[in-house]
Amino acid sequence: MFRTRLISGIIIAVSIAVFTYFGGIWLLALLMLASVRGMFELYRATGVLAEGKRIDLITGIAYFFCIAYFAALYITGQAMFTVVSATVFFLLVLLAAYVFTFPKYDAKQIAFTFFGFFYVGVMISFYYLTRSTEHGIFIVWLILAGSWLCDVFAYLTGMTLGRHKLAPVLSPKKSIEGSVGGIVLPALIALAYGYIISRYYDPGYPVAPVFAILTAAGAAASQIGDLSASAVKRNFGIKDYGELIPGHGGVLDRFDSLIFTAPIIYFIAVLLIGGSIK
């Protein structure tokens, strides 16, 4: 199992790195596909989709709006306008489907359908939005540091120093010491990374401390993302969201922390570095 998980992890990491480096439509297409798959996993887990089904009216609307949303981000380049307008119009169409097919769907299904679109599609799109900013080629790696390096260092620190439980009911193995290690150690790596970047490129702001702050904030958010995904699984009595990635589970099992890290780093970067949100 460890070998399978390691190989899958390496393949995922290399793939993400390549698509992130090239950015643009390639990264957007990857995130769009991951979003649709993640939405499907969530809809299946929460009972929006009946057992054995992959699509119905309301989930079909959700998939369509997710694809249209990513396409609009690429075509218009208007980030916040697209986020808000896509969310509002999706809700209106979803509620119209709810009304005109009543009582085929209940309120819980409608709520989770909307939640899936925003939680998976909209939030993960901030990875693409970060990469698309002026200094995005340097900043976007901090999202991976804040999510995946946080996982690694939180685990290692917790195994060696963990004494106090972080969330004893939800995740008994996680510790406060591990949580701190998962924030501090990636931030120190980002500090060194920022120092190296500043030696060869001057973007006009103190790179090293800004990168450390961004990564620390992202790492803290990633732990909330991981725990919230676990809470949903506990509520619905499942171990994993899927089996797409050998040794890891589904898309949501692998990207649950990144979903939270991406928007946090995007918005804090805008506040610290400046510039306008398109």
Q: What is the pLDDT of residues 68-85, one digit of tens each?
A: 999 999 998 778 899 999
State the amino acid at position 53 in one-letter form: K
Which pTM value belongs to this model?
0.93
* Count of alpha carbons within 13 angstroms of residue 224, beta-carbon side: 11
Q: What is the pLDDT of residues 173-195, one digit of tens each?
A: 899 999 999 999 999 999 999 99
**What is the helix (H) or strand (E) element at residue 277, kind and residue range?**
none
Q: How confident is the model at residue 237 (pLDDT cuts 50, 70, 90)?
A: confident
- Strand runs labelled E in 78-215: 165-167, 171-175
